[in-house]
Amino acid sequence: MSKENFSKPEFSIVIPNWNGAEFAARGISSLLISARAYGKPFEMIVVDDASTDAAPRIIAETFPDIHLLRNEQNKGFGASVNRGVAAAKAPIIVLANNDIVAKEDFIRRLLEHFENDKEKKLFGVSARTVNWLDGSPNHLNMTAHFSRGLIELDYADSLEAAPTLFAQGGACALRKDVFAHLGGFDPLYKPGYWEDYDLSYRAAKSGYNLLYEPRALAYHLGKGSMIKALGSKGLNNINARNYFFFTWLNLSDIPLLTQHFLMLPFHLLGEVASGKPLRLTKGFFKAAAQFLPLMSARRKRARPFKVSDSRLLH
């Protein structure tokens, strides 16, 4: 990549990396190929989150022209993305995990929607990701509904571009100004998961649109940094905790919020009585331990939203 691509970039690729020595170079290479195929000036920023493996050295030596930022301490996925977005020069940000391999038209498929968005009401476009080994879906079109006091996620394997509620933080494109206006990814979700859904939801409540573009395809290598560090059980616990973070930070419709807290004991007791793994229960207690900081964050982010929860969670 020639250095002149960095002078006035039209889009910035931001990749958070933590201990990605096994796969980061493959993912970065695919994104560079995709960016060049799009044919417009761009920059790439990799934020290394205090890796303890050889990833920073490999990235610096293999790709000397990209911007490599290094955190002195491990700050988590959200904070690393925030740092990369803050350093980006372009109005459109392509976010990519360090363990995805993008098809050549990946970036063009994402960014062409912004070209057609004359009113600038489009906040983000989310990609389709599939597992590297067998091609099974990894991330599809994600929406949600509210049922018996809980937010339930819905997945649709849309064949064409379609409205969505959540942009996948590891494979999407976003408007930088809206990202910054909404405060970026909330560090409360550290080490990761649900902060991208949180930001997407706040954007949707603020009146912005989000799209899912299945033709923007990337392969997920399936050996991500977080699962290696936390294991499947630890990752599930973080996911469940952050589910409650998302709910308590974002629900503002009083009837839905009331229903949530009235129904919650029945869900937790039902899970205990069933003898099944206590995923929801463990997530609740982990989240409840940080209830006061969550309420403080909720008050700080309060704003007159344009769209209600009941309209989004139908």
The domain limits of the chain are: 3-223, 229-312
Contact between 11 and 111 under an 8 Å Cβ cutoff? The reply is yes
Which residues have CB under 8 Å from 3's CB, separation 6+?
A: 65
Question: Quick one: pLDDT at residue 224?
Answer: 56
Angle at 238 (CA atoms; ends 233, 244), nearest 5 degrees = 130
Read off the amino acid at residue 73: Q
Distance CA 185, CA 189 (A): 8
Which residues have CB under 8 Å from 66's CB, separation 6+?
A: 1, 28, 43, 44, 45, 46, 59
pLDDT bracket for residue 4 (50, 70, 90): very low
Question: Quick one: pLDDT at residue 228?
Answer: 64
**Model confidence pLDDT, tens digit, residues 103-124:** 999 999 999 999 999 999 999 9
Top-tier CATH class for 3-223: alpha beta
**Model confidence pLDDT, tens digit, residues 34-72:** 999 999 999 999 999 999 999 999 999 999 999 999 999
Question: Quick one: pLDDT at residue 225?
Answer: 58
Contact between 82 and 20 under an 8 Å Cβ cutoff? The reply is no
Per-residue pLDDT averaged across 258-274, rounded? 96
Question: Quick one: pLDDT at residue 301?
Answer: 84
Tell me the percentage of the chain whose pLDDT exceeds 90. 86
Structure token digits, residue 96:
């990519």
pLDDT bracket for residue 96 (50, 70, 90): very high
Question: Quick one: pLDDT at residue 227?
Answer: 62
Q: Higher pLDDT residue, 5 or 166?
A: 166
- Does residue 157 surpass a pLDDT of 50? yes
Give the three-state DSSP class for 285. Answer: helix
**Model confidence pLDDT, tens digit, residues 125-153:** 999 999 988 889 989 999 999 999 999 99
pLDDT bracket for residue 1 (50, 70, 90): very low
Q: Which helix (H) or strand (E) holds 93?
A: strand 92-96
- Residue where the block lists tokens 């933590």: 18
Q: What is the largest CA-CA distance in the chain?
A: 63
Question: Quick one: pLDDT at residue 229?
Answer: 65
Q: Higher pLDDT residue, 314 or 149?
A: 149
Arithmetic mean of pLDDT over the chain: 93
Distance CA 199, CA 203 (A): 6
- Between helix 291-301 and helix 279-288 the angle, nearest 10°, is 70
**Alpha helix ranges (H) inside 101-150:** 106-115
Using a 10 angstrom Cβ sphere, with 0-12 exposed, 13-18 middle and 19 or more buried, the burial of residue 160 is exposed
Using a 10 angstrom Cβ sphere, with 0-12 exposed, 13-18 middle and 19 or more buried, the burial of residue 282 is middle
Of 173, 178, 82, 180, which is closest to residue 126 (Cα–Cα)? 173
**Model confidence pLDDT, tens digit, residues 205-261:** 999 999 999 999 999 986 555 666 666 777 888 999 999 999 999 999 999 999 999
